[in-house]
A and B are shown apart, each in its own frame.
Chain A
């Protein structure tokens, strides 16, 4: 009995101490928040323990901005990329959003639809000047119902990446420039155990470059209809080409969702895969993991539509709940400046300002291919339903690769479902 009493009192003391400590720690920080003007920016520059981007922001860019704009303090809060969307959604529900958010470009229509973003094309008098400086493809990702809700911060796209070892194995001298080159390369790789091409899924990010380069479209121009566009004869033949490769074991089942297959970032350096489509961040990954690997960058193979890739990147948006909109807009202007853009280029983020492209290429050679590809790259459907469209594409296209349905039937079905999504999301 005695023993239990001592345990009981120890437990009670521990609880009291813990509560007290918690009270102190929350109390001591509460006071420091109310400076003249503080604007908060949420983003995921943290990039998985690689702190170069966050350091550039916190140690160089933000101090420079604060110096130029006395009285404004900028607080950057880093949130893990995988959790950012969810955190933004709940915070929007609770009216707890920060002033500024660095959002994945696919999220802008979704949040604009919720009504939590300020249309910058209305609120910023110099918006048209700022918007003329950036790539149209990147800018377009901020458009929702005729208004722009953000400005691009950084951009990226996918290009064809291969290796000398893979080209040697296929007996070709240069990366495939056209769909025909690709088919020729396929013939040579058949039976060698090296896959012609690998990708990790069938979403819009994965399949769009093929569709556009093949001369097809996902939807009509106004993004209200997919039937008649997604299931066009051109798209059927483009996707059929990929399905044929798949059937000849030239595309691994990674593309149909085998998460146990070798990833593209490992398969290419190991010459299991001859080509992949990917972004500028791969260089950083390989220099850490495969220091000896020398990737070869080339444009997406051209089909009937030319060489057309897909735009990725992040936008900066201003929230309706911001109490310091003028200060926040100043920071948005700052992000479009040469200083900001070039500082981020050095950390692996491509600039959204075409006039800085030559300086960008000077930072690293491989940016050349990406910058060139960006000139024609297109953005995916800008809709609050974008993620559902992704799901439809991969769910409906997978059976076509597995052979349980025809390409035509799969595209018809996907188009019908996307029509419904676009009608619902307007």
Chain B
């Protein structure tokens, strides 16, 4: 571990004793933190492998006995679970890509230009962030009805994209603003137009922030429940959260089933997370200033 740490920090002065202590502390803290984070999650995994008769006994059992995969087979076979999975994937992917694209353009304008109304427009965006989504449900539903967006997946996307714009713009603008403007000015002197500077310079520079925005937006669209419930009537257009909620009954809930379905639903989010988190590693220093 010490060796790795030193390769990672080539200039680190050799004070082995304090280095080792620091590394030990670092790992101890991380492990304790990770254990706290993961225990409730493990409990959920264990419950998903437990038959209804043994679910949620107190005190909690972490190793299911007897274990069963019946919850997973039932989750996958009752309802059109795979169709709903595909619906969610389509909606979440398209919303994420379009939202990140549109909001990074807005962030670019805010970070690199001075223009009339800049402050006001930015404040309007901020104000949008403070409105609780529950409050917007009925007006948005009426809007969707007028625009014939009800009961369709593209209709849901419009609301998911709009809903994530402010957060993403705010996030990306902050990041772009903290990046020195010299490179941009240099490209401008070279005659590059605004689109080139956005696409070729700002976007690659903002990689860590774009990765963050992608992960957040994907998760938000993937998990969204109230709008999906309200806007979709045709069962063929349902998304996954609506299907998972249907596993909760009026008088009884099969928790193993709900947890199994939820765990299946977590997989795509983790994949998106794993794919995009590697952009954190190559930060500014290696990407732009040095390269």
Contact = CB atoms under 8 A, between A and B. Distances in A.
8 contacts: A11-B101, A18-B94, A25-B90, A47-B250, A49-B246, A51-B78, A83-B229, A289-B53
Nearest to A77: B235
Contacts of B94: 15, 18-19, 22
A291 interface: yes
Contacts of A290: 53
Contacts of A98: 233
A184 B242 CA distance: 49
Interface of A: 1, 3-5, 8, 11-12, 14-15, 18-19, 21-23, 25-26, 29, 44, 46-51, 77-83, 86-87, 90-91, 93-96, 98, 262, 265, 279, 281-282, 284-285, 288-291
A96 B90 CA distance: 25
A78 B238 CA distance: 11
A93 B286 CA distance: 55
Considering residues B53, B245, B251, which has the most beta carbons from chain A within 10 angstroms of its beta carbon? B251
A1 B250 contact: no
Contact of A1 (B141, B200, B246): B200
Residues of A contacting B: mostly: helix
Interface in B74-95: 74, 78, 87, 90-91, 93-94
Nearest to A19: B94
A44 B245 CA distance: 11
B289 interface: no
A8 B249 contact: no
Contacts of A82: 245, 248
Contacts of A3: 204
A35 to B, nearest CB: 14
A94 B145 contact: yes
Considering residues B200, B229, B246, which has the most beta carbons from chain A within 10 angstroms of its beta carbon? B246
A96 B141 CA distance: 10
Contacts of A29: 234, 236-237
B150 interface: yes
A94 B138 CA distance: 8
B262 interface: no
A272 to B, nearest CB: 11
Contact of A22 (B101, B145, B154, B236): B154
Given A22-B157, A90-B141, A94-B141, 9 more contacts: A11-B101, A15-B97, A23-B154, A25-B153, A49-B254, A82-B245, A82-B248, A96-B145, A289-B52
Contacts of B137: 90
A284 B248 contact: no
A188 to B, nearest CB: 27
Nearest to B97: A15
A386 B137 CA distance: 24
Contacts of B53: 288-291
Interface residues of B, number: 52
Considering residues B58, B90, B138, B245, which has the most beta carbons from chain A within 10 angstroms of its beta carbon? B90
A22 B90 contact: yes
A46 B237 contact: no
A23 B288 CA distance: 39
Interface in B21-43: none
A51 B79 CA distance: 10
Residues of B contacting A: mostly: helix
A49 B74 contact: yes
Q: Which 7 A-B pairs have the closest CB atoms?
A: A48-B249, A18-B94, A4-B204, A15-B97, A81-B250, A80-B245, A281-B251
Contacts of A265: 252
A4 B254 CA distance: 46
Interface of B: 52-53, 55, 58, 74, 78, 87, 90-91, 93-94, 97-98, 100-101, 137-138, 141-142, 144-145, 150, 152-154, 157, 199-200, 203-204, 207, 226, 229-230, 233-237, 242, 245-254, 257-258
Contacts of B253: 48
A227 B55 CA distance: 45
A79 B245 CA distance: 9
Nearest to A281: B251
A46 B200 contact: no
Contacts of B252: 47-48, 50, 265, 281, 284-285, 288
A288 B249 CA distance: 14
Nearest to A26: B152
A90 B152 contact: no
B233 A77 contact: yes
B102 to A, nearest CB: 11
Nearest to B153: A22
Considering residues A18, A19, A23, which has the most beta carbons from chain B within 10 angstroms of its beta carbon? A18
Contacts of A25: 87, 90, 153, 236-237
B37 to A, nearest CB: 22
B153 A26 contact: yes
Contacts of A90: 137-138, 141, 230
A18 B97 contact: yes
Contact of A26 (B138, B154, B242, B249): B154
B250 A44 contact: yes
Considering residues B53, B94, B100, which has the most beta carbons from chain A within 10 angstroms of its beta carbon? B94
Nearest to A27: B152
A282 B87 CA distance: 36
A15 B229 contact: no
Contacts of A289: 52-53, 55
Nearest to A47: B249
A77 B232 CA distance: 11
Nearest to B234: A29
Contacts of A86: 226, 229-230
Considering residues B207, B234, B249, B254, which has the most beta carbons from chain A within 10 angstroms of its beta carbon? B249
Contacts of A4: 200, 203-204, 207
Contacts of B55: 289
A25 B86 CA distance: 10
B106 to A, nearest CB: 17
